[in-house]
Chain A
């Protein structure tokens, strides 16, 4: 089991470094390229949303990401938890985007969290002691 805890402020450069660290960690844990990209996408959608929306604009704040990669018989089990003390936000309770809409009607709202749900096996949200804890899990099968 390899586990890391990352802390980031809201600046785009800090968010980018956090995503790079997550990607490097997954590569080091032995995940294959396509899955690393998918998990980076999952992380980008979640972390960007926190950095932008969890606190009012201009407020300095920090959030944390816990990432664990465990080799199991079926493959590499990855779990990622984000922790922030911003406004309560349950990513599992967001409306589904209309993915059948025509070009004219197509919007972009809700697409990020939709991709997170599609690309992970499990998602769990908890609001505890004034903190959002959002955990996603994904089993990356052996190549």
Chain B
């Protein structure tokens, strides 16, 4: 899995691609929690993510908890249908902010 990061005003966008699963979870954790640990405001572009298993959900949950603990913010957008289904099934759509598009995801993390 790969992450590229763009700066958008006070917020960052992590553009994520590939799979977030058992094999990539450690790498994903490093890449997706570094900024929220600093209290940054992050929107995660999930358009390029075709697969998230429970190992991937754990990383997202950790990022959301770190964002809250460090007074940052996090939102996700562009979830593919199968990925969105996994989030809904596990109730993660209730603990993580999910938006349809980039503009609303950025608005959701704005101070």
Contacts and interface: CB of A to CB of B under 8 A. Distances in A.
Interface in A61-99: 97, 99
B89 A108 contact: no
Contacts, number: 62
B89 A118 contact: yes
B22 A44 contact: yes
Contacts of B86: 41, 115
Interface of A: 12, 15-16, 34, 37-38, 40-41, 44-45, 48, 97, 99-104, 106, 108, 111-112, 114-115, 118-119
Given A12-B22, A15-B22, A108 B68 contact: no
A15 B22 CA distance: 10
Question: DSSP class of B's interface residues: helix, strand, loop or mixed?
Answer: helix
Contacts of A100: 91, 94
Candidate in B65, B68, B94 with the most chain A CB atoms within 10 angstroms: B94
Interface of B: 21-23, 50-51, 53-55, 57-58, 61, 64-65, 68, 81-82, 86, 89-91, 94-96
Candidate in B23, B54, B58, B91 with the most chain A CB atoms within 10 angstroms: B54
Given A38-B82, A40-B51, A111 B57 contact: yes
